[in-house]
Structures are given as C-alpha cells and as structure tokens.
Amino acid sequence: MNQETKNCKNCKKDFTIESEDFNFYEKIQVPPPTWCTKCRQLRRYAWRNERTLYRRNCDLCGKSTVTIYSPNKPYKVYCNPCWWGDDWDFSSHGKDFDFFKTFFEQFAELQREVPRMALLNKNSVNSEYTNHSGENKNTYLSFSAFDDENVMYGSFIFKSRDCMDCNRIQEKGERLYETIDSRKCYQCQYGIFLRDCSSCFYCYDCHGCNDCFMSSNLRNKSYVFRNKQYTREEYLKKMKDIELSSFIVREGLNKEFTNLIEQDAIHRYVASERNINSIGSLLYDCKNVAKSFELYNAENCKYIYGSTDIKDCMDCYHLGFNSELCYEIQGAVRLSNCKFCHLCYDNMNITYCDTCQNSQNLFGCVSVKKGDYMIFNKKYLKADYEILKDKIIEHMKKTGEYGEFFSPQISPVCYNETQGNFYMPMTKEEVLAKGWHWEENVPGTFSKETILAGAIPDKIVDVPNTYLNEIFSCIDCLKNYNITKNELLFYRKENIPFPRRCPNCRYKRRFDLRPKRELWHRQCVCNKENHGHEGNCQKEFETCYSPDEVIKVYCESCYNKEVY
C-alpha cells in the first residue's frame, strides 16, 4: 500500500503514514493510527509517572510505602511485597464484557477495583526509592536503573556503581557525577557524550581520554586543559590551582562549560554510532531503525523512544531487554507479540493490559500475575478466549477504540506527574481542556528550611555532619530538600561542594542539556578548508539540533575530518 496522508484527531495537523508502516500494521493486525507520531508519544507520556513519588499506606497490610500514586488517587495500591504475595486473587475481580459499553469505559472501572503495584521495583536490595528499575543495591531516588549499586539521583543508569546525578549511563560507569549520555567511564564530572574516559572534568564529546579539563571533541588524549595540550606536570599544576570543592568556583565552571558547548564544541548532526540504515538521534548498534531516539541494540524499529534490546517494534516508549513484535507499549521489558500495554514485564501475546506480569494470552487485564487466557481478569478456555477476544475487537472497531493506546483520560496518574511535563509541557488549563487530569498536591514543602543557602559553607570540607539533620531550600525553585549520609560521603570523597539545588532542579538542568527527541532539517555549517568543499559545506541532513540553536552542527564527513 502506498503512503497516505491523514489528519490527526488530537492536534488536527496532517501526518503521513508510510508504506512500510502499513506493512507492519497488517502484520500485527491493527488498523492504522488516527493520531500523528508526536501526539501518539504525547499519549504515552501521559501514562508514565517516572519520578514523582509519594507516601501512602498499603491497602492490604496498612504499612506506609513509596508509590507513584498520590493518596487521593481512587485506586487500591499494594506495597510490592503484598502485591507479589498470595494474600489476594486478581481473578476475584474478573468481569464479563458488556457489549453495551465502550471498552475503555469498562477498563477504567476495572482499574479502580484491582490492586495496583505501588511502583515497579524488582529484585532490589535497599532501593525503596526507585521506579521502573530492577536488580539494584543501595540505589536511591533513581529511575530506569538496572544492575546498579550505590547510585543516587540517576536516570537510565545501567550496570554502574558509585554514581550521582547522572542521566543515561549505558554501562560500566563508576564514580561519576553530573555525567550525561556516556558509557564505560570512571571518575568523571560534568561530562557529556564521554566514552572510555577517566578523570575528565567538564568535557564534551571525548573518547578514550583521561585527565582532561574543560575540553571538547578529543580522541585518545591526556592532559588537555581548556583544549590545549600540556605535559602531565603542567596539567596537574593547573588543576591544583582550581578549587573544585568551592561552590562559587563550580558555578563559574558550569557557565564556562555551557559556553564551551554552545560556542566552541563541534556537534555531529546526530549523536549516534555503529548503526546501519538508521535515522534518529542517540542510536547505538541499530539496524533498520527510523525516526527513533535514545535507542540501543535495535533492529527493524520505528518511532521508538528510550529503549534497548528490541526487534520488530513500533511506537514504543521505554521498552527493552529482548522484546519483539510490540506496538504502542509504555514501560515494559521482555515482551513478545504485545500491543497497547502499560507497565507490563515478562509477557507474551497480551493486548490492552496494565501492570500485568509473567503472563500470556491476556486481553484487557489489570494486575494479573502468571495468568493465561484471561479477559477482564476472568479465566476462559482457550477456544472461548479466542472467540470472545475477536468479538470484543470487532466491537472496539465499531466504537473507534481498537488500534488506539489508552486515553490519558483514564490514566492512573496526572499529566503534571509524568515525563510529558518535561518533554511536552502544558499548562494546567491546557491539560484540563483536553479532559486529562492535573494533580494539585504534588510532593514538596516550602519555607521549612533550617539552614539558609547563604549560610552553607563554600567548600565541602567545612560542611559538618550535623547537616544530615537539617533542611535546605533550593535556590532555583525554593522547594525544601535534605541530604543522606551516603550523599554527604560522596561529596567529600569526590571533592564536590554541597548542593544548593534540589534533586529535581538538578535533573531539569541535565534534561535541558540533552538533545531533543525531534529532528529538524539543517545544513552543515562547516566552512573550513581541506574538508572537501569550497566555502560553506552544502550538505543537508536531519538533525536533533533545532535551527534556533546557534551551535556548530557538522555533517558526518566534516565532523570526522575535524575530530578524528
């Protein structure tokens, strides 16, 4: 089938469905989407509360637990031990499907009755404050973290240890602070796009480097200070003259680093490596991937965001770990042949399911564990399941529901609690006008500080242990925060000044430094000689850097000639 232009039901703008998209829809037997690519992702964002945590009592054992659901949400919430335990039966909430009602109407009713898992946190030790995470030890306030130890305030951290305030460390990070989109690095601070680096501070796009400071676009270098080569003795002397433990000094270095990125550094048109026939940004080891972002080890995928180890998938957000043949998925791992699912781990052949684990052959189920051939949490014989499932699908096609991801109107979380509030922010009025939900009581206190920001010592060596019992106020948002013992020990060990900003503002700063999940058409800005062109380079490309960003964006050829 040839490509087709449709009008998005949400934003009312025209969008194109390409011929290869129709082939995928036919393969998995779903109708083509009625929302454009961007709005489909917006809809998935509206279901992902990744980092807004609350305290509420478990509705089974009564104990206080950490959860992504505020106490005023109309759901039963079980702490993780209770949810995984045998003291309740998900099938006791089973319902017959009513063909006089819409599917989503009945699904929303089921959601309000079946207990929900407080948060996704599997097989972890002393890591209560983590979500969308697993196999961690001593990990605190970190999200999408797997196989980590002693990690604090991180996001998308894999196989790392002793790291704080980092985003997207794909593997083997150790003793990292404020490091973004990097892998296999040791004892680095304020780094972006680092690989196989150690002891690098304020460095951008450096590979195989050690002992470098405030530099960019380096390959296999040592003792480079502000992009100038020095001997080891000269470099160490210059570093000794910089008081890294001083908050005032660090604030100046942060501004200098921002200027380095914006004015001096060369930006490859997309930050991607080792790909074949792939279009997008932050793609690594991918083949036949199109219009995707932050994707690792993927094949035959399109419209994917923040995923790893997947194959033959389309329109998914945070999907990973050997998943295949998936469509319209949010927050899931180890899935096969699954469609329209949210927070589901280790499943096969499930459709329109929420928080289902270790199951197969489910349709329209909530919080099912080790289930098989179930519809609306009710068990059926295989033949009866197939007949009823097909009948419901035909009903959903008539109501215009089949083929659409869950509406944000029935999302168990509010939009301002979700990642949509970062990637596609909307005002309260805009959210409510869509019929979506807004949380008025997001966590946080104000004006309870016991130590004023101006009274905090400039250097970490002067910060007393008594600060573990104090309350502080963020200099950006004014929200109160405190610190833990391990956090203070980390600052002292790594010679980092005491933070004046709360964890959320620190996350927002790192978030703003990362490339956007969008592509723009631009032209290479290189005008250097001996790059195979006269005057300005004429090559054009799709890039993750907006034309509004006045930075040096180079095509592949010019970038390689300048950097390598």
Structural contact between residues 112 and 125, judged by C-beta atoms closer than 8 angstroms? no
Domain limits for position 543: 520-563
Q: Angle 195-198-202 (CA atoms, 0-180°, nearest 5)?
A: 80
What the block records as the tokens of 259 is 């200027």
Q: Which 3 state secondary structure label does DSSP give 194?
A: strand
Tell me: do 482 and 457 sit in the same domain: yes
Helix (H) and strand (E) counts for the chain? Answer: 12, 33
Residue 554 inside a domain? The answer is: yes
Tokens for 334, please give them: 């180890």
pLDDT of residue 1: 65
Query: What is the structure's pLDDT at 70?
Result: 96
Residue 299 in tokens: 């094949």
DSSP 352-378: EEES-EEEEEEES-BS-BS-EEEETTE
Q: How far apart are CA 250 and CA 178, in angstroms?
A: 12
Contact residues for 110 (Cβ-Cβ < 8 A; gap 6+) = 93, 95, 364, 366, 376, 377
Residue 270 lies in a domain: no
Please, what is the angle between helix 382-399 and helix 103-113, to 10°?
120
Q: Per the structure block, which two tokens stand in for 57?
A: 């009592």
| Cα 162 off chain centre by | 20
Q: Is 253 domain-assigned?
A: no
Torsion sign, CA atoms 155, 160, 161, 166: negative
Residue 374 belongs to some domain of the structure: no
Which pLDDT tens digits describe the chain residue by residue (564 residues)? 678 999 999 999 999 999 899 999 999 999 999 999 999 999 999 999 999 999 999 999 999 999 999 999 999 999 999 999 999 999 999 999 999 999 999 999 999 999 999 999 888 999 999 999 989 999 999 999 999 999 999 999 999 999 999 999 988 999 999 999 999 999 999 999 999 999 999 999 999 999 999 999 999 999 999 999 999 999 999 999 999 999 999 999 999 999 999 999 999 999 888 999 999 999 999 999 999 999 999 999 999 999 999 999 999 999 999 999 999 999 999 999 999 999 999 999 999 999 999 999 999 999 999 999 999 999 999 999 999 999 999 999 999 999 999 999 999 999 999 999 999 999 999 999 999 999 999 999 999 999 999 999 999 999 999 999 999 999 999 999 999 999 999 999 999 999 999 999 999 999 999 999 999 999 999 999 888 898 899 999 999 999 999 899 999 999 999 998
Q: 255, 491 in Cβ contact below 8 A? A: no
- What is the torsional sign of CA 411, 414, 416, 419? negative
CA distance 554 to 537: 9
545 is a domain residue: yes
Task: For residue 329, tell me if it sits in a domain.
Answer: no
d(CA 164, CA 549): 29
400 found inside a domain: no
pTM beyond 0.95 = no
Q: Which residues contact 60 (CB under 8 A, 6 or more apart)?
A: 78, 79, 82, 87, 88, 115
Residue 32 structure tokens: 């083509």
Exposed/middle/buried for 533, CB within 10 Å: 0-12, 13-18, 19+? middle
* Cα 20 to Cα 67: distance, rounded to the nearest angstrom: 40
Contact in structure between 134 and 122 (CB atoms under 8 Å): yes
Q: Which two tokens stand for residue 188?
A: 């680095």
CA nearest to 481, candidates 460, 457, 506, 454: 506
Q: Has residue 475 been placed in a domain?
A: yes
State how many domains the chain has: 2
Using DSSP's 3-state secondary structure scheme, residue 424 falls into coil
According to the model, what pLDDT value does residue 449 have? Answer: 96
